[in-house]
Amino acid sequence: MQTRNKMLDDISQLMNNAMGVAQGAKTEAETAMQSLVERWLADRDFVTREEFDAVRAMAQKAREENEALKARLDALDAGKK
């Protein structure tokens, strides 16, 4: 009876080790895939969300400044007429 428990313990240990190896392989594959995707995206020269938001904010500010300058010019033109 003791031999059977030892065999079951060994099989259980083997399965636990196999699951650990499988988990490690999964993590390594995910890391490799993420690295591959990041390199592919970097090669495509895509902008990051932060860069996009910064440029959008700059464009919005420039648009507002242009509208303010146009209003001033219109007021100056109206005063000359």
Q: pLDDT (tens digit, 9 = 90+) per residue, 7-53?
A: 888 888 999 999 999 999 999 999 999 999 988 988 888 888 999 99
pLDDT of res. 62: 98
pLDDT of res. 75: 92
48: phi then psi, degrees, rounded to nearest 5: -80, 165
Radius of gyration of the chain (CA): 33
At residue 1 the predicted structure's pLDDT band, cuts being 50, 70 and 90, is very low
Of residues 44 and 4, more confidently modeled: 44
* Rounded Cα gap, residues 65 and 62, in angstroms: 5
